Amino acid sequence: MARTRTVTWQDPAALGKAAFSMPGAAFLRAIAERRLPPPPIAKLMGFDIEEVGEGRAIFVVEPQEYHYNPIGVVHGGLAATLLDSAMGCAVHSLLPEGRAYTTLELKVNFVRALKHDTGRVRAIGKVIHLGGKVATAEGTIIDGAGKLYAHGSTTCLLSDGSR
């Protein structure tokens, strides 16, 4: 039986402009508190920002069938995207207005498969190092009982935000 999923999102250009007009933590909290719309990738994949702290970000998702790969488990791209988002936003939370980051390197270690009946999982990103040009962070994906599903690390390039 066929299934359908419809995704609706806001103009990402407006969100991008807002990202450079306030400190990173304030920007991310505005998204978490629904004062700004989430980015299209969050709507597409069905995840939310749960919490933002200084050098820390937590994203949540409940894996669904639409996340599945051809072998009947959640595609690793969901975990990779969650970790990239949580770790990158942990870095972003420490940046002042006008500063930006982009992922230079992403390493993901898959520990066990996510499934549609796994329940809600959290991707927790924490900054390890924040320099003038480069930042590093680490992250984990855990379920409600604290069981580890994936972990990873990232290196981010920091810039003045000009595109």
For the chain, give the longest Cα–Cα distance: 53
Helix, strand, coil in percent for the chain, rounding step 5: 25, 35, 40
- Which helix or strand (DSSP H or E) is residue 25 part of? helix 24-32
pLDDT of residue 161: 67
Band (pLDDT 50/70/90 cuts) for residue 49 is very high
Where residue 47 sits, what CATH number does that domain have? 3.10.129.10
Instruction: Indicate whether 53 belongs to any domain.
Output: yes
Confidence class for position 162, pLDDT limits 50, 70, 90: low
pTM to 2 decimal places: 0.96
Which DSSP string do the residues of 29-61 spell out, in sequence order? Answer: HHHHTTSSPPPHHHHHHT-EEEEEETTEEEEEE
Please check the confidence at residue 108 and state whether its pLDDT lies above 80. Answer: yes
Which range marks the domain in which residue 71 is found?
Answer: 12-159
Question: Is position 7 within any domain?
Answer: no
pLDDT at 163 over 90: no
Instruction: Specify if 2 maps to a domain.
Output: no
Q: Is residue 110 part of a domain?
A: yes
| Structural domains counted in the chain | 1
1 within some domain: no
